[in-house]
Amino acid sequence: MATEPVIYEPGKAREAFRAVTRDVAWVAEAPKPHKAWLGALGVSMLMLAIGVYSIFVLLTTGIGVWGNSNTVGWAWDITNFVWWIGIGHAGTLISAVLYLTRQSWRVSINRAAEAMTIFAVMCAGLFPLLHTGRPWFAWWMLPHPNDMDMWPQFRSPLMWDVFAVSTYMTTSILFWYMGLVPDLATFRDRCAARGEKLKAIIYGALSLGWRGSARNWHRYERAYLILAGLATPLVFSVHSVVSFDFATSQLPGWHTTIFPPYFVAGAIFSGFAMVLTLLLPLRHLFNLKHIIKEEHIEAMCKILLATGMMVGLAYATEFFIAWYSGNLYEKFAFVNRAFGPFWWAYFAMVSCNVLIPQAFWFKMVRRNVVLIFILCIFVNIGMWFERFVIIATSLARSFLPATWSYFTPTIYDIGLFIGTLGLFGTLFLLFFRYVPVIAMSEVKGAMPEAHAGGPSKGGHH
């Protein structure tokens, strides 16, 4: 994308930059929050309260309050863990992979997508933690000298998970915060100019005294580039490691080498659907349509279409291999998936993940935000079912027919899931109101005006 040489008029470039600052800062500076925002926050906090109560019952009673059984030992807890962490991956993909591939349209959505990553990983982390039954002993998973002389078993994929997810969480937070600093400095300066001292001090402390120095920018950009380079393999490793939890087991339906790429494609797919689900209403609510443009949404729809078909290919490959391997148990596992007692989940998964996204072939659909929003909701549901189908149907019908069982969630399973949706919603809505919701400095840097005034440097980007 070559930048057009800009005709130089005094003050014109600065006017454009000011407009970006004003429009983004307005979201946080509007004296009264939007009614829809307040309503959504209320609903989210109510859901969060349901989740807190579910956790309270879980901790005071025990894992028995869930529907998990000896046969289906991993159920909604791990389903939700994989689902949430997959959602998180789109944020890293947008901020890191699209940065490395110089997709400048990412600047309008990367901040919100990264925030989504952090909140999704927070929700995800809750599940394995609570699944241990005694979360107050979770620190036993970290290697530390202890009077039992025991070390973690590092050859277990569950330990890999601990390291991968905590590294991912740390990286996501640092990457996000680093990107925030220049924009927090913008908020600091605006608050100071308006005389709001307390806010200026808070934003000032958070922005670490940033002053936009070219010498600082130089190192900042280096660090940003390298962090993006580090986050890219990291994001692929995290969901691969999550898939190892299944793939390294002996269970038919889990024990396949296709899992890492299959899980990563699914993660990107669900994550982009979640980004759109969040941003479409908020963009409308907070008048950000000229920053989060239709082209950006269309690009995301194309990614949805591509990753949706990758996921569909994975489903087909699984069936092909089940047939081609000639393995009785493998064959049974997959026939059971589609036609067994959980057939309805499989049907929901295929229609939401493979059939429905085919609508994105049409430009008419990719330009219709209402339709996109509805389709993305379906993708979110479909991806949840994918995780559920993989986990529950495989466990419910394993090698020994005597142990076969069915999984039915209890209200505490449902309550905790609703609770994480509430936690996610609450955090995201608070983020939208109090933190620079769009990476202003990056948007400004990607504008044609950023190259104004000097000797024409067209083509440099």
Please report whether residue 4 would count as binding other proteins according to CB under 8 A: no
Q: Would you count residue 197 as binding other proteins (CB under 8 A)?
A: no
- DSSP letters for 288-340: -TTTS-HHHHHHHHHHHHHHHHHHHHHHHHHHHHHHHH--HHHHHHHHHHHHS
The radius of gyration computed from the CA coordinates of the chain, to the nearest angstrom, equals: 24
Tracing tokens 């990476």 back to the chain, one arrives at: 439
219 binds other proteins (CB under 8 A): yes
Cβ at position 351, least distance to other proteins in Å = 35
Closest approach of other proteins to the CB of residue 197, in Å: 14
Kindly state whether residue 363 participates in binding other proteins, applying the rule CB under 8 A: no
> Which DSSP letter does residue 289 get?
T
In this chain, which stretch among 109-117, 225-233, 304-312, 365-373 interacts with other proteins, using CB under 8 A? 225-233
Q: Is 453 in the site for other proteins (CB under 8 A)?
A: yes
Q: How far is the CB of 221 from other proteins (least distance, A)?
A: 5
The three-point CA angle 266-271-277 to 5° equals 130
CA 341/CA 406 separation, integer angstroms: 8
Q: Say whether residue 195 binds other proteins (CB under 8 A).
A: no
Closest CA to 357 of 411, 308, 404: 308
Q: Are 372 and 366 in contact (CB under 8 A)?
A: yes
The binding track of 133-152 with respect to other proteins, each residue x by CB under 8 A or -, is: -x-xx-----x-x-x-xxxx
Residue 67 C-beta-side C-alpha neighbours within 13 Å: 18
Count of residues of this chain found to bind other proteins when the rule CB under 8 A is applied = 81
Q: How far apart are CA 125 and CA 132, in angstroms?
A: 12
Q: Of residues 244, 360, 388, 431, which one binds other proteins by CB under 8 A?
A: 244
> Which of 241, 288, 292, 356 is the binder for other proteins (CB under 8 A)?
241
- Which residue type is seen at 203? Y
Q: Which of 227, 304, 314, 423 binds other proteins (CB under 8 A)?
A: 227
Q: Applying CB under 8 A, does 155 fall inside the site for other proteins?
A: yes
> Per CB under 8 A, does 454 bind other proteins?
yes
End-to-end C-alpha distance for the chain, whole angstroms: 8
Q: Using the rule CB under 8 A, is 326 a contact of other proteins?
A: no
Distances (CA, A) of 252 to 198, 239, 323, 334: 59, 20, 13, 9
SS3 148: coil
Q: Which of 223, 316, 374, 411 binds other proteins (CB under 8 A)?
A: 223
CB of 275 to other proteins, least distance (A): 23
In angstroms, the Cα distances linking 421 to 40, 44, 266, 359 are: 12, 7, 19, 27
**Contacts with other proteins in 11-40 (CB under 8 A)?**
11, 13-15, 17-18, 21
> What secondary structure letter does DSSP report for 354?
I
Minimum CB distance to other proteins, residue 433 (Å): 20
Q: Is residue 411 within the footprint of other proteins (CB under 8 A)?
A: no
CA nearest to 161, candidates 240, 77, 86? 240
Six-digit token pair at 89? Answer: 């991956």
Determine, following the binding rule CB under 8 A, whether residue 295 of this chain makes contact with other proteins.
no
Work out whether 320 is an interface residue with other proteins (CB under 8 A). Answer: no
Q: Which is nearer to other proteins, 181 or 369 (CB)?
A: 181
- Report whether 440 contacts 20 (CB < 8 A): yes
Which is closer to other proteins, CB of 241 or CB of 291?
Answer: 241
Quick check: 117 binds other proteins (CB under 8 A)? no
The binding track of 171-190 with respect to other proteins, each residue x by CB under 8 A or -, is x--xx--x---xx-xx-xxx
